Chains A and B, each alone.
Chain A
Amino acid sequence: MDSFWKQSPHPQNSTSITVAQTLKETRAMFSTPASFIYLIAEVPYLASDNMQDMAADRSFLQEQNQQMKKMLAMQSLQVQRSEALKSENDRLRELLGSRKKLPGNAVIAEIIGSVPNPYTHQVVIDKGSADGIVDGLGVVDANGLFGQVVSVGKYSSRVLLLIDRDHAVPARINRTGTRLIAGGTGEVETLLLENVPISTDVVIGDLIETSGFGGRFPDGFPLGLVYSVSNGSGLTYAQVELRPSAQLNSTGHILVIMPDQDHNNFMQRSAKLSANEEFAQ
């Protein structure tokens, strides 16, 4: 027993990491047929979506088309501006000697199922390592941050939603720039700001966004709006709750944010570190 405690003070050097890695790979191997099962379970919904598209009448489609064209025009204007701003931003950062860059492109993925456990909030998406997805990438939808990739198979991955009890995001208040942590509560409608000092300037309606700290999520993605603040006397910390911006209940398309090369190296390093942490626990 004594020798058991003495061996390998540095878990990086021990065989346990290899065991953890093997288990992870086994999971990844099984996850391809598992995602196939999720796909079969999703077939009725996919089929009914298709049927709706087929049964839609001409005038409705024309109207929808018009609306989308308008939206596209508006958004392409914004994209043009943001492209210019992005390049200007990169130039300025270069002048300052900062290595941080805005994230590059993204991969569109479709949600093909959700894990049927009432205590975890995970969804299965139809893109995997074959499309360049790696562990730990941030996922957003049209309205805000959605979650992060936690396990990758060949043709599918699992995304942990940001409202899961095990999830937390480095965040900041958009109005004041105060840094905070936004943790999941396990409820679809609520995120909780953790350990907020009573004196923090936060009011109902404040936009909370990602701060980019920790390097896992790019900064500036909206997390949600504050809907309840209680900072009365007697409390150690203020209770600040926010409603997530992302449509976490919907089953549409989401974007997996692909990192640039620098970020990729960082992610690999941090994945190794987190494997060690897992072992240390």
Chain B
Amino acid sequence: MSSPVLGIVLAVSVLLSFVLAVARLPADSITWFSYVRPQWILLICFFWAQQLPYRRGLLFAIMFGASRQSDDQTTYRRGIIFSWIFGLFVDVLLNEPFGLNGAIFSSLTFFVWRFHQRHQMHSVVQQSMLIFLVIFFAEVFRAFVMDIVADQPWDVLPLTTAFSSAVLWPFLSRFLLRLIGPGNN
């Protein structure tokens, strides 16, 4: 698949993940839905960080297309910073304190880039387990910050969303891999 098309798939998938992250069911009173809502944005961020390890991060790839590629240290650092800026928008979208999602996304990007070659050796089930752990820790961090800043109570939310995300991951990654085709790593 050519780079501009890859860029379009990337942008559309990110936009869709935003929409799915804020979409609601017809009756707002169905509260259990928000407990099993997968972390769409984190999943998409994880997927693209894994597939495009040498690009300059999600935001840069959206803005300039996924064509530019290099693997020096500056690009690496810039990628982390762009992930953080990408998080600022998600902060506004989900109405959370400024910088919270930035910290989560840049840590996630760092983690994935650091170990991406090892991740790609894993089977689907192992990847799902990894997703569960990563999203669980990310959500525990979010809950910790929201407890301090907004006095929100602790809940089973990190556990349930991590579980539903881990269940979703094989289907999502397979679907997106089919879409972008082989040979894009």
Contacts and interface: CB of A to CB of B under 8 A. Distances in A.
Interface of A: 23, 26-27, 30-31, 33-34, 37-38, 40-41, 45, 113-120, 122, 158, 165-166, 188, 249, 251
Main secondary structure of the interface of A (DSSP, over half): mixed
Given A23-B98, A37-B18, A122-B95, A117 B89 contact: no
Nearest to A251: B28
Given A30-B93, A117-B34, 14 more contacts: A23-B98, A45-B26, A114-B28, A116-B23, A116-B34, A116-B37, A117-B96, A118-B35, A118-B155, A118-B157, A119-B152, A158-B95, A166-B150, A249-B27
10 contacts: A30-B93, A41-B19, A113-B24, A115-B94, A117-B95, A118-B34, A158-B95, A166-B150, A188-B28, A249-B28
Contact of B92 (A31, A119, A122): A31
Interface in B1-44: 15, 18-24, 26-29, 31, 34-35, 37
Nearest to B92: A30
Nearest to A119: B152
B22 A113 contact: yes
B93 A120 contact: no
A166 B146 CA distance: 13
Nearest to B151: A165
A41 B23 contact: yes
Given A30-B88, A116-B37, A118-B31, A38 B95 contact: no
A33 B93 CA distance: 9
A30 B89 contact: yes
Contact of B22 (A23, A27, A37, A119): A37
A21 B146 CA distance: 22
A60 to B, nearest CB: 21
Contacts of B19: 37, 40-41
